[in-house]
């Protein structure tokens, strides 16, 4: 079997195609949630916190040093936790929406059909039912 035919067989499997579709839809969905967080949620949090953008939140360990002319000589050293907080909120919203979508999907999915009863079990049930009469 040649490499090309093996590749065709690999690609034609349903689960590979389903996975590819899931990755593409997931990436597009991630962009939607990121736009929601960046455009709506974070500005509301920033407004509630005094008009400062959440991504600008930081803890300054060492302020920047300026010379006499006002030119920066040494940059500030700061822990920028605001961007991390924004990314964490983004992740939590994506996880919540994926959870809700999967929960709805599982409700809509048909329950698995019960496997056919083996013939010997069916015969035993018939005998049991006839003995009850």
Q: How confident is the model at residue 112 (pLDDT cuts 50, 70, 90)?
A: low
pLDDT of residue 79: 92
**97, 89 in Cβ contact below 8 A?**
no
> 67 is in which domain, residue-wise?
3-132
Say what the pTM is.
0.55
Q: How many residues does the chain have?
A: 133
Tokens of 14: 């349903």
* CB 42 within 8 Å of CB 53: yes
- What would the pLDDT profile of 33-81 be if each residue is shown by its tens digit? 888 888 888 888 888 878 777 788 889 999 888 888 888 888 889 998 9
CATH code of the domain in which 49 resides: 1.10.1200.120
Alpha helices in 2-118 (DSSP H): 3-12, 14-36, 42-48, 81-108
């Amino acid at each position: 079997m040649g490499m090309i035919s093996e590749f065709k067989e690999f690609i034609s499997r349903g689960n590979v195609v389903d996975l590819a579709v899931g990755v593409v839809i997931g990436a597009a969905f991630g962009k939607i949630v990121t736009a929601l967080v960046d455009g709506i949620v974070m500005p509301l949090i920033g407004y509630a916190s005094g008009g400062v953008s959440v991504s600008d939140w930081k803890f300054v360990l060492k302020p920047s040093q300026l010379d006499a002319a006002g030119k920066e000589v040494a940059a500030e050293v700061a822990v920028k936790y605001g961007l991390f907080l924004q990314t964490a909120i983004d992740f939590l919203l994506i996880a919540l929406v994926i959870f809700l979508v999967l929960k709805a999907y599982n409700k809509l999915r048909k329950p698995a059909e019960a496997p056919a009863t083996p013939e010997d079990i069916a015969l035993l049930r018939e005998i049991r039912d006839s003995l009850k009469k």
